[in-house]
A and B are shown apart, each in its own frame.
Chain A
């Protein structure tokens, strides 16, 4: 239980770090695009499972 809590805290920190990374990398302008696409993808995650094709796991 405390492992899950710690992991959640770390994940929240990860989101902050990611935003800082976007800012420092000067790709902050991507944030709204990413958020929109991520929301879209989240819907996809919830609605269908994925059969990954041979190439994608190598690259992405």
Chain B
């Protein structure tokens, strides 16, 4: 049975193919369209799924959309009417989008995919999230917590999954939303919503949560694990372009200028920011205020999630938890949930945000609606497109790019390890690209984790990222416990997907300084021989040469661009950046002057 899941129109449009209960292909549209967080109808991702499985549209048994447009339309009408006339612009803007496109999803699927309307199903937004986590997890029974900005009406749900069924026990409804609260602060701190949340999380350790009590004025936690927001501080429920109002600014001061550089005395001032400004000290003091606000919202978010998880544990008594929704990408909070709640195991699917809804919708139809038994665990995220050696060679030859083909993989890996040890930065592209926002060793930029200056080198040469954003460590799963405060790392799936921040063991912080954050933590990726043997062998070889089973791993893209897919995109990124070596499966391209 072939089921196609689709999510789109808000952010991170995606398509996923489930064949007899197994996810055989999944990708976000941005990887093909090259538009970051592309929300448009994911026709390229759909075509990729069908191409990968060698299917035609008529071979699809069902196409499942990840949410219910009418219920969402109902929410928009009701909430804009409730805040009329302040919400007139929101109403106008949203109607433009809804009348032009969003209301006609069924017709659009019928036209673009080419299947009869009887084969089109609709899941609901948070059910799709819940399904994306539970049905991909190895658990036969688990509590489920979904938290995001908003779906139809729900912004968070509490539930239970048992075998092939999912039951949602309760929900928190719009406008009360933890995801929106975090996004409001993301906007206040000068970052783009749905993109800059990682930056807030990265900025937080540079501050102290001295405004936590002020943040708590905005959010009231209830005994049952739910919460409500004091909407007097917000404008997002009626304004199309403002998230907060004067009362909010009265509490936290003026928002940070999005165009200004962010740095504090402890973050450093990278060379790519240019010369230090004359009022450097004053700007450091000002930025410290914003870092303190970031620390405060991060802390309150963690506290809220912990309270929600604990309440869910009381309700269900189950030892395992599945989490989904954009907030489940908050890897710092995930680490605390695992350490500080009674839940013994946690599962977060790599595309926990809206893109993941495509997988959830398809799996929900397969198991809960059609009653098929479970036979799948998402153990890795390599579900994207791959490019054959013939394609790579033909691209390199056609463009006259000097390259070397190294058939012996051990020799190739030794070359890469030598380069890393010499402080060179390597673009590493192999196999199928990753599902979700993280590069997990198939579209990665790699560097030596032992050098403290490597973070600056990678930033200066390639990423031009803000200096407070950490890089991630890829570590051999069997050796992770030596370096990270994580018992039995093989049991913790979020660590496979770089969705868990844990403390780096104190004795190892100086051993791997580059991917260790300022607060002594690491957003690790545990690498398994079974799921990525070649990447595992690379780290193993690095370990043999240096005694350190870790490499620095960051996503293979330039700032503001989606992660690369094709050899052409990998080469273009390599050429435009200061990377020294590019590996495309068995092909090596090196810069002449490096």
Chain A positions within 8 Å of B, measured between CB atoms, are: 3-4, 6-8, 10-11, 13-14, 17-18, 21, 25, 27, 30, 33-34, 37-38, 40-42, 44-45, 50, 52-60
Contacts and interface: CB of A to CB of B under 8 A. Distances in A.
B99 A38 contact: yes
A55 B239 contact: yes
A44 B117 contact: no
A30 B77 contact: yes
Closest 3 CB pairs of A and B: A53-B241, A41-B95, A60-B94
Nearest to A25: B74
Nearest to A3: B111
Contacts of B10: 57-58
A25 B10 CA distance: 24
Nearest to A34: B77
Given A44-B96, A54-B192, 4 more contacts: A13-B117, A18-B70, A25-B74, A27-B77
A54 B187 contact: yes
Contacts of B183: 55, 58
Contacts, number: 112
B110 interface: yes
Contacts of A11: 104, 106-107
B114 interface: yes
Nearest to A56: B240
A52 B192 CA distance: 13
B107 A10 contact: yes
Contact of B91 (A10, A37, A55): A37
B464 interface: no
A4 B111 contact: yes
B39 A57 contact: yes
Contacts of B243: 55
Contacts of A7: 104, 107-108, 110-111
B242 A55 contact: yes
Contact of A17 (B70, B90, B94): B70
B348 to A, nearest CB: 21
B100 interface: yes
Interface of B: 10-11, 39, 70, 73-74, 76-78, 81, 90-97, 99-100, 103-104, 106-108, 110-111, 114, 117, 149-150, 174, 180, 183, 187, 192-194, 236-237, 239-243
B241 A50 contact: no
Nearest to B95: A41
A11 B91 CA distance: 22
Given A7-B111, A54-B193, A58-B10, A44 B92 contact: yes
A33 B536 CA distance: 61
B240 A52 contact: yes
Nearest to A58: B149
A58 B74 contact: no
A55 B108 contact: no
B102 to A, nearest CB: 9
B94 to A, nearest CB: 4
Contacts of B237: 59
A51 to B, nearest CB: 9
B104 A56 contact: no
A55 B184 CA distance: 9
Contacts of B99: 38, 41-42, 45
Contacts of B73: 18
A25 B97 CA distance: 23
B90 A60 contact: yes
A55 B117 contact: no
B93 A50 contact: yes
Choose among A13, A42, A57 the residue with the greatest number of B CB atoms under 10 Å from its CB. A57
Contacts of B240: 52-53, 55-56, 60
A17 B150 CA distance: 23
B107 A60 contact: no
B90 A56 contact: yes
A14 B11 contact: no
Contact of B117 (A10, A25, A58): A10
B16 to A, nearest CB: 22
Choose among A3, A21, A59 the residue with the greatest number of B CB atoms under 10 Å from its CB. A59
Nearest to A27: B74
Contact of B95 (A10, A21, A37, A59): A37
Contacts of A41: 91-92, 95-96, 99
Contacts of A27: 74, 77-78
A18 B103 contact: yes
A14 B107 contact: yes
Given A7-B111, A38-B95, A41-B96, A58 B193 contact: yes
Nearest to A11: B107
A24 B149 CA distance: 27
A45 B70 contact: no
A60 B39 CA distance: 13
A7 to B, nearest CB: 4
Contacts of B193: 54-55, 58
A3 B237 CA distance: 38
B94 A56 contact: yes
Given A21-B70, A42-B99, A58-B194, A52 B93 contact: yes
B114 A3 contact: yes
Nearest to B78: A27
Contacts of A21: 70, 74
Contacts of A52: 93, 97, 240
Given A8-B107, A56-B241, A50 B187 contact: no
